[in-house]
Amino acid sequence: MKQVLIDRLRGIVGEGHVLASSEACVAYEEDWRGRYKGRALCVVRPGSTEEVSAVVRACAEAGVAMVPQGGNTGLVGGGVPHECCDEVVISLQRLQQIRAIDPGNDTITVEAGCTLAAVQATAEEHSRLFPLSLASEGTCQIGGNLASNAGGVQVLRYGNARELTLGLEVVLPNGDVWNGLRGLRKDNTGYDLKQLFIGSEGTLGIITAAVLKLFPLPTQRAVAWVGLPEADAAISLLALLRQGAGSRVTAFEIVCSVAHELVLQKFPDARRPLRGSAPWYALIELTDSGDGAGLNVLLEAIMERAFEASLISDAVLASSEAQAQALWMLRENISEAQKKDGVSIKHDVSVPVSLIPEFLRRSDAALQERFPGVRIVAFGHAGDGNLHYNPSMPEALANAAFVARTPEVNRIVHDIVASLGGSISAEHGLGQLKREEIKRYKSPVELEMMRSVKQAFDPAGLMNPGKLLG
């Protein structure tokens, strides 16, 4: 029966786009971190929405589970198959068409396989900005960005993927196609169905295209890297920035000293921007449209006030685009530096912005008490309350024993997050990594509501099973 399905899929998309050998499938069966590795029945690469629909219908009629996959840059194992060898991976990589761009409506309609960088570039060609920005933007794909409700570094000003989407086209688990590609900012005609699919991690259907919001292309940018005496100062500095610059505050990232030193160690081309070191750092970006150099003057004035208030110990403002990029690389290279350094226990959490220092104090203290000598790499999008909080041990043998106690570490961190009214997954999703863990932190009522939605759309349970919902 499996061979019959494979032959049928080849008839739909062409023989060259159904991969069945171990060698051909391996790149689709493992996440980029190497944490999850499965074995697919085959990998199918449809080239249109119609082909996606036919592939899904064939799999549904055969009773075979499907795993939608974008750029495979996820961090929670949501886009890779299990080890059972009976799931079909449906790769959206061939759906790369920019279907339309409407500068007057500030929208762009793109297919799911377009990389985030390609969408950004197309928008820029029309003097527009698509503001979703991630370290993986050269390889991650729009379908995956929406399925995981990606966040990134500009959520503070523009919102996450959910807030940047006006319409969707989705292939449902039975093969039907829902065309909701409407570029409307007001549509009060019932349930907002697109929001069910954004953040659903491919468990309710396969996003094949989207209408996305665009914005005026900024013509001014001011970037600064500052030293902070403590995490509390970051929150006060953010308030000062918003008071002085308003919505022009586009990004506000914080980086602990351990994370900063790790980047300097692992990337020889990285340069220390400040004369000395500090316990914490903030990366600030302001953007605006219009002429003139007023943004740098504004940011410099705010930094002077921050220094007078003892909120910062030192600061450097980028004087060129190259310097701005160099400062951003100090932030963007943290994850890669950690990967080069070894395994760590990663947390992608959010708490109210005002409670970030409290979370850090309580979590650091609790982990140091339970695991003396633990090293914390903490950084992230402080402007929207999202921190990446990654503990490990500096020495390899001790770290292996530490990582083996991941459930215990997770319990400490996640219980503190929950006590502060936070979330154990701010932007990465649940996938395989947290689908059981989430049961501790969502109420039975909320979980049952989610299961009811899943049952309504996918009664046979064939769409990305074992992800998000346990």
Cβ burial 340-363 (10 Å sphere, 16+ → b, else e): ebebbbbbbbbbebebbbbbbebb
- Please, is 234 exposed, middle or buried when counting C-beta atoms within 10 Å of its C-beta (0-12, 13-18, 19+)? buried
Whether residue 49 contacts residue 209, with contact meaning beta carbons closer than 8 Å, is answered with yes
Domain range list for the chain:
2-91, 98-216, 220-335, 342-440
Tell me how long the chain is: 470
CATH of domain 98-216: 3.30.465.10
Digit-coded pLDDT (tens) for 47-69: 999 999 999 999 999 999 999 99
pLDDT at 1 over 80: no
Q: Is the pTM of this model over 0.75?
A: yes
Question: What's the topology of domain 2-91?
Answer: 3.30.43
- How far apart are alpha carbons 48 and 177 in whole angstroms? 12
Percent of the chain's residues with pLDDT above 70: 99
- How far apart are alpha carbons 411 and 370 in whole angstroms? 12
- Cα–Cα distances in Å, from 242 out to 224, 246, 248? 15, 5, 8
- How far apart are alpha carbons 35 and 298 in whole angstroms? 45
Digit-coded pLDDT (tens) for 101-128: 999 999 999 999 999 999 999 999 999 9
Whether residue 463 contacts residue 66, with contact meaning beta carbons closer than 8 Å, is answered with yes
Phi-psi region of 406 (alpha: psi -120 to 50; beta: other; left: phi over 0): alpha
Digit-coded pLDDT (tens) for 279-299: 999 999 999 987 656 899 999
**314-317 sheet: strands from edge to edge:** 314-317, 220-228, 280-288, 249-256, 375-381, 386-392, 348-350
Question: Quick one: CATH architecture of 220-335?
Answer: 2-Layer Sandwich (3.30)
Q: Which helix (H) or strand (E) holds 280?
A: strand 280-288
Fold equal for 2-91 and 220-335:
no
Q: Which helix (H) or strand (E) holds 65?
A: strand 65-69
Strand partners, 68: 90
Which distant-in-sequence residues (6+ apart) come within 8 Å of 399 by Cβ?
342, 343, 344, 392, 393
pLDDT band at residue 194 using 50, 70 and 90 as cut-offs: very high
Over residues 350-373, the mean pLDDT reads: 98
- pLDDT for res 136: 87
CATH class of 342-440: alpha beta
